[in-house]
């Protein structure tokens, strides 16, 4: 548990940011996160959700704050309002609006499909992002370009393969992964995606429903990219109903070759899991690479 000095510092910074008195009356730890520590802090008239981590990781919270603010600015889909990021002598922190979350239902899933399509339709000027951020705890490189295949090759696939090699994964995985990287253009023949603002880490654990029945997404890893990457990740671990996909496709139909590219896009996340959690993801990554390479025959 953080010290009283940490909470006092956060409370004072909150008062400055909101121009409202905030004296903490209750602190509840929140389980579920494996990267940050989560807490609900409450005063007599308000409550907030707080994330804490090491002081030197403040840039991670800055990027999350920026991503949430940019999604909110589109007025398309609900996110927790970002209030403040900063640091104390012991921790970096992020303060968000407190929202009680519930499992989605048919209505909220349909709303999520419609609103995510609306988010993806907002035009953007380039592929990349204004700053680097993280995917899990892994750095996510967002160097801007106007060429999507080059962005995906350099900043996503090659970066994760390089990390895997540094982490001791050798042989076929790296060799076949590099072969896939060198033939990446094949998967974009006749397909020219437009830059969309992406959530970037849209698995079922980062989407829910509010008490009012409204769809909400959170914990983003935002950048501008091919909208298919968001949809692909919703399929990686499951948890999204057919209502979500039906409404999304009615609002913003996917390209016919999406079913192949989704494996390419989800390979990024499986390689990231390999680098974060170890060899239990190696065979899955290899199978995905082999499947993609078979498309070249």
Q: How far, in Å, are 70, 83, 185 from residue 225 at the CA level? A: 14, 26, 16
Angle ∠(238,286,294) on CA atoms, nearest 5? 95
Catalytic residue among 109, 201, 219, 226: 201
> Is there a catalytic annotation at residue 230?
no
Decide: 274 and 282 in contact? Cβ < 8 Å: yes
Residue carrying the six token digits 């968000």: 96
Decide: 198 and 224 in contact? Cβ < 8 Å: yes
Burial of 191 (0-12, 13-18, 19+ CB in 10 A): middle
Rg (CA), the chain: 20
Nearest to 155 by CA among 189, 173, 181: 181
Q: How far, in Å, are 55, 74, 265 from residue 144 at the CA level? A: 28, 21, 18
In this structure, how many other beta carbons lie within 10 angstroms of the beta carbon of residue 115? 23
Backbone dihedral region for residue 229 (phi beyond 0: left; psi -120 to 50: alpha; all else: beta)? alpha
**Which active-site residues does the annotation give?**
201
């Amino acid at each position: 548990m953080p010290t009283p000095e940490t909470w006092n510092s956060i409370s004072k910074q909150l008062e400055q940011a909101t121009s409202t008195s905030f004296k903490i009356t209750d602190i509840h730890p929140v389980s579920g996160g494996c990267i940050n520590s989560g807490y609900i802090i409450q005063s007599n008239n308000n409550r907030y959700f707080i994330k804490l981590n090491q002081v030197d990781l403040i840039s991670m919270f800055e990027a999350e704050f920026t991503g949430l603010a940019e999604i909110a600015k589109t007025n398309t889909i609900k996110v927790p309002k970002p209030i403040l990021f900063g640091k104390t002598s012991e921790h970096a922190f992020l303060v968000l609006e407190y929202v009680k979350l519930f499992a989605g239902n048919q209505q909220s899933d349909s709303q999520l499909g419609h609103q995510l399509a609306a988010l993806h339709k907002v035009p953007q000027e380039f592929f990349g992002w204004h700053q680097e951020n993280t995917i899990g705890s892994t750095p996510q490189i967002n160097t801007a370009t106007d060429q999507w295949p080059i962005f995906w090759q350099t900043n996503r696939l090659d970066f994760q393969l390089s990390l895997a090699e540094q982490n001791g994964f050798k042989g076929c995985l790296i060799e076949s992964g590099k072969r896939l990287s060198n033939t990446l253009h094949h998967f974009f023949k006749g397909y020219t995606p437009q830059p969309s603002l992406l959530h970037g880490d849209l698995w079922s654990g980062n989407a829910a429903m509010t008490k009012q029945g409204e769809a909400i997404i959170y914990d983003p890893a935002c950048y501008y990219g091919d909208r298919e990457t968001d949809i692909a990740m919703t399929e990686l671990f499951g948890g999204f109903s057919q209502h979500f996909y039906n409404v999304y496709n009615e609002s913003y139909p996917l390209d016919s070759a999406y079913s192949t590219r989704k494996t390419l896009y989800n390979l990024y996340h499986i390689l990231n899991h390999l680098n974060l959690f170890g060899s239990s993801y190696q065979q899955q990554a290899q199978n995905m690479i082999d499947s993609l390479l078979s498309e070249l025959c």
